[in-house]
Amino acid sequence: MTLERSLINLRYNLRSLITGRLWLQVILAMILGVGFGILIGPASGYVDADLSELIASWIALPGKIFLLGIQFIIIPLIIASVIRGIAAGEESENIGRLGISTILFFIATTIIAVVIGLGMALLIKPGAYIDSALLQSIIPESAPAETENMAAAGLPAVKEIPDLLTSLFPRDPLATFVSGNMLQTVISAIIIGVAMLAMAPTQRRPILELLESVQTVCMVIVGWVLKFVPYAVFGLLANIAARVGVSTLLAATVYVATVLAGLLLLLLIYVLIVMVMGRIGPLTFLSEAREVMLLALSTSSSAAVMPLTLSTAEKKLNVRSGIARFVIPLGTTINMGGTALYQGVATLFLAQVFQVDIGISGMILVVVMATSASIGSPGTPGVGIVILATILESVGIPTAGIALIMGVDRILDMCRTSVNVTGDIAASITLNRLIPEEGEAPATVLQEATVPVKDEPQG
């Protein structure tokens, strides 16, 4: 009887611990999903390959439904958030400053990320641990043609850049919203929001009220979808673990460790920026952002977690809605620091594997290309591989080497997406402090240490 009572108490305590803690539910789902995926994978020997693939497909169904649910509301949520963030949030004199500051923040942190990736690869030299025999067994004969086709769709020539810049601007906003092009959608919403600032308040109020209602509806749907997050995480990771297997990961362990070490360092830089510029303690920041980071880790899509990122920035970290609804949708589109870091590591890793000396000029080219290609790439799973093929082709590294890292790319994609969304939150916190509200003086790092003069005018 005592044992039974103890078991009941244990079950009650565990339920109380887990209930209401989404981050803990996600962690448990991740552990169980990976374990179940390895168990049903062909490498375990318990299930044959065909049955394993069938089970993996079905077990991933909740995750696929979750992603579809987010995609269902992501475009209307971005449109409503960006337009209201501009027209109802910040004053018109701050919009230009906010836009320039946001883009400069993302460019600077992306360059830092690439440099970190190159530095980690030079320090650890992960390519030296790959056996040439393993290289020949992993890379199939058809790989060169496939990866060259991927590279062919890469960066444009100099003469094509004006046409590329022109293509960024939407011709028809309705067609853009329907197409789902994230960058053009954000640009369209920014144009409409800035145009609404020129309208009289009485004229723009009905539109803002409509957009507020759209936002509310989207967040209600997000609330429904988030109830399935643990099941989605379990299914997605079980599917990945069953298909990838442990052996593929072990074949490139040092490379994976190098990328993860670089991503951890980039994460620490974001935490330092928040601590210095945003005056928020590291533990507080990571504690409030953990649900977003874990969800991004499991979905590999910064766009899929954007609603939760917005909610976290506004409600938990007290970022003004005008800042959060401008910076975070824009960051979801152009802030790919984790992806750029991964491309730096992968480029030098494959250069070491194929014994190609790209030199200082090649590294500078990698920094420029990885930064420019990452900014504007869609926040969807797998896009980093296409960008990587372009960079490899440009610095003279065989693109066939992508087959060597393809097996572990999904795992690294999860990690770099988590760092990307952390960067979005860090940017919103930093700019929330640097861009003043109406009637406030701009915040500075030393502002809190300065005693203001009583009769000194503010603003």
| Long-range CB contacts (within 8 A, 24+) of 368-374 | 369/155, 369/394, 370/110, 370/114, 370/117, 370/340, 370/343, 370/344, 371/107, 371/110, 371/111, 371/114, 371/340, 372/155, 373/154, 373/155, 373/343, 374/110, 374/336, 374/337, 374/339, 374/340, 374/343
23-76+96-173+228-437: CATH, from 1.10.357.20, 3.40.50.970, 1.10.3860.10, 3.40.50.620: 1.10.3860.10
Cα 335 from chain centre: 8
Q: What one-letter code names the amino acid at 448?
A: E
Segment 296-342, tens digit of pLDDT: 887 777 877 888 898 899 989 999 888 888 888 888 877 888 888 98
Both tokens assigned to 62: 């909740």
Q: Where are the domains of the chain?
A: 23-76+96-173+228-437
Determine the Cα–Cα distance for residues 228 and 112; give it in Å rounded to an integer. Answer: 36
Question: In sequence order, which residues have a C-beta less than 8 Å from that of residue 321 and are 6 or more positions away?
Answer: 84, 85, 89, 314
Determine the Cα–Cα distance for residues 264 and 275; give it in Å rounded to an integer. Answer: 16
For residue 429, how many other CB atoms are within 10 A of its CB? 27
Mean predicted confidence (pLDDT) in 365-383:
64
Q: 254: closest CA among 392, 353, 401?
A: 353
- pLDDT of 373: 64
Q: 389: closest CA among 355, 353, 343?
A: 343
- Longest CA pairwise span in the chain (Å): 81
Determine the Cα–Cα distance for residues 155 and 157; give it in Å rounded to an integer. Answer: 7
Segment 143-180, tens digit of pLDDT: 444 444 444 444 455 566 676 667 667 777 777 777 76
What mean pLDDT is reported for the chain? 75
Determine the Cα–Cα distance for residues 86 and 107; give it in Å rounded to an integer. Answer: 22
29 against 162, higher pLDDT = 29
Cα 449 from chain centre: 34
